[in-house]
Amino acid sequence: MLWVKSFHILFVASWFAGLFYLPRIFVNLAMVAPESVAERERLLLMARKLMRFTHILSVPAVGFGAWLWLGYGIGFGPGNGWMHAKLVVVALALAYQHVCGRMLKQFARHANRHSHIWYRWFNELPVLMMLAAIVLVVVKPF
């Protein structure tokens, strides 16, 4: 079980690294001047590669988590409400990743609707999600 936990932590940290950095690229994309085509294309390429990276890493992160939950029974039984809350956080992280993919497509179509300041705030959401997941797993408040 400790190997599975170790790999779960590794892939979650790697997945979230992508979720932390992708909106930072969006901040830069939102600030690119319209005449800076090369800069825009370079940032779009970086964002596409990072999006692919986060998609790939989310699969083993969720898979090892499911293995711990279903295979070892972690979070089952009374007093394990923290696991239900953590599963909500995981669903929110997956939804956030999906939204990032849609935003990337909007940037590619020149259809961005937000300012760089909005993306700076949007960038803070995965930090809060990871903090919530860590507190739920370590502290187990309910």
pLDDT, position 76:
79
Q: What is the pLDDT of residues 71-127, one digit of tens each?
A: 877 777 788 889 999 999 999 999 999 999 999 999 999 999 999 999 999 999 999
H-helix or E-strand spanning residue 70: none
Mean pLDDT score, 53-82: 90
Q: What is the pLDDT of residues 17-55, one digit of tens each?
A: 999 999 999 999 999 998 999 999 999 999 999 999 999
pLDDT, position 75:
75
As a whole number of angstroms, the longest Cα–Cα distance in the chain is 60
Alpha helix ranges (H) inside 32-112 = 37-66, 81-108
pLDDT, position 72:
76
Q: Is the pTM of this model over 0.85?
A: yes
Angle of helix 37-66 relative to helix 81-108, nearest 10 degrees, comes to 160
Among 27, 13, 21, CA closest to 58: 13
For residue 122, give every residue at least 6 positions away whose Cβ sits within 8 Å of its Cβ, in sequence order, or none. Answer: 23, 26, 114
d(CA 42, CA 107): 12
Backbone angles phi, psi at 115, to 5 degrees: -85, 170
Are 142 and 81 spatial neighbours (Cβ–Cβ below 8 Å)? yes
pLDDT, position 133:
97
Position 59 pLDDT exceeds 90: yes
